[in-house]
Amino acid sequence: MRPINGPCQGILHVPKRISAWFHSRVLSNTLSLSSSERWKASLGALLCLVACGLLLRSLPLDAHWLLAPVGASVVILFVQFHSPVAQPWPLLGSYLVATLVGLACSHWVAQPAWAAALAVALCIWLMARLNCVHPPGGALALLLVLNGPYTPAQMLAVGELIGINAVALLVATLLINRWVLRRRYPHSSTPPGPGHRTHDRAPIERMGLTHTDLESAVKTLNTFVDVQEDELVEIYNLAVDHAFGRHVGLTCADIMSRDVITAHFDTDLAVAWQLLRNHKIKSLPVIDRFDRLIGIVTVADFLRQIDAQATPKDLATLVQALLKRTPGPYADKPEVVGQIMSPEVFTATPQTPLSELIRQISQRALPHVPVIDARRKVVGMVTQSDLLVALYKSIALDQASQSAKA
């Protein structure tokens, strides 16, 4: 068969060009949800609209309508619940602005086409000015103009209906996201403080993005960014962690101590204290009779049992009194490790990447992390010293490799 040349050859490439253009221009940058998020969003929308509809029917109103823009709001509130446009003020503020603008334009502008266009345009400007951008607000303003004009009594009734729709929608969203879907809503931009309770940011954040960096970037883009500031920082930090893990490739199994000194729930305080001193360590994982982790006891746990007003001179005496076993069946102080240990322990697995471990230790101010297997048996311990040595060796080897190549 003879090959096709000339103009006909270009014609055959047209469908491929159209397909490439369609995928790059139309299908690119679309929202993708995981299976669990699809189910959560659908269930949330179902419950929310049912609750709002039943509430409206139970109230003594002339109209018991769920407004059409509520459907669009529900999509945003349950699909993009972390977005700035899905927060309480944008929802309530946009409905308020749209109501005022829509009713005013339907009353003062006689030409419907001009009234509709002006209502949406003013609604956008005011929402942006008042930091309450919520896209269904534009639809609500348009809906009011298309159904106008209204008498004063009708305006009051419409305003009442819209207000009840907005408040019912917000209350239902708060309850369903919090108690049914177990989501954090409304989204809080306040990051958790560092473990040492000072005004300093967590160590992992001190060399990362700052508010000034983000503000400068957004001003340069000169457009609306549909993501919270703290989420953008989180995305950046996770990307850095991923890149670090890809280059370093170390896991907890590579750096952890495997000969772990442990204690049991019924270990005497004096025995546990002696283990800490003999092995020059600051913590003991506490295990049950099946060797499963149930807590951790640290030097700080011992010191917390001592009067905070004690002077340094009295400290040794008080520690000795704490460690001394009380004779008889009753005691007015802790006697065994299980009485002073911390039951909530942050743990890692042997497969946990070093990048993730560094992030957690930095954010939680952890001096040590027990490493457990699938049965919660302690298989290792990672300390800050282990991390420092691993990072030092990784950097040293990388520099040596680069020098050898040069």
Sketch the domain layout of the chain as residue ranges.
Answer: 36-180, 203-247, 254-405
**pLDDT class for 211, splitting at 50, 70, 90?**
low
Nearest to 132 by CA among 141, 124, 140: 124
Q: What is the DSSP string of 146-199?
A: HT----HHHHHHHHHHHHHHHHHHHHHHHHIIIIIS----SPP--PPPPTT-SS
**pLDDT class for 315, splitting at 50, 70, 90?**
confident
Asked if residue 367 has pLDDT above 70, the reply is yes
Contact (CB, 8 A) for 87 and 227: no
Please state, in angstroms and rounded to a whole number, the distance separating the CA atoms of residues 100 and 141.
8
DSSP 133: -
Q: Which CATH superfamily is 254-405 part of?
A: CBS-domain (3.10.580.10)
Residue bearing the bigger pLDDT, 240 or 79:
79
pLDDT at residue 220, as a whole number: 76
Q: Collect all residues with Cβ–Cβ distance below 8 Å to 237 and sequence separation of at least 6.
A: 204, 205, 208, 359
Contact (CB, 8 A) for 272 and 337: yes
**pLDDT class for 382, splitting at 50, 70, 90?**
very high
Contact (CB, 8 A) for 65 and 168: no
pLDDT at residue 264, as a whole number: 94
Read off the pLDDT of residues 160-210 as tens digits, 9 standing for 90 and up.
999 999 999 999 999 999 899 988 888 765 554 555 555 656 555 555 566
Q: Across the strands, what pairs with 342?
A: 296
pLDDT at residue 107, as a whole number: 92
Per mean pLDDT, which range of 213-227, 278-292, 351-365 is the poorest? Answer: 213-227
Q: Tell me the Ramachandran region of residue 319: left when phi exceeds 0, alpha when psi lies from -120 to 50, beta otherwise.
A: alpha
Looking at residues 113-142, what average pLDDT do you find? 95
Nearest to 230 by CA among 195, 198, 184, 196: 184
Q: Report the mean per-residue pLDDT for the chain.
A: 82
| Torsion over CA: 288, 291, 294, 299 (sign) | positive
Please state, in angstroms and rounded to a whole number, the distance separating the CA atoms of residues 339 and 264.
11
Looking at residues 334-339, what average pLDDT do you find? 89
pTM of the model: 0.58
Asked if residue 1 has pLDDT above 50, the reply is no
Per mean pLDDT, which range of 171-185, 300-314, 345-359 is the poorest? Answer: 300-314
Read off the pLDDT of residues 65-124 as tens digits, 9 standing for 90 and up.
889 999 999 999 999 888 889 999 999 999 999 999 999 999 999 898 999 999 999 999
Q: What are the structure tokens assigned to 296, written together?
A: 């951790």
Hunting for tokens 């099946």 — which residue is that?
A: 290
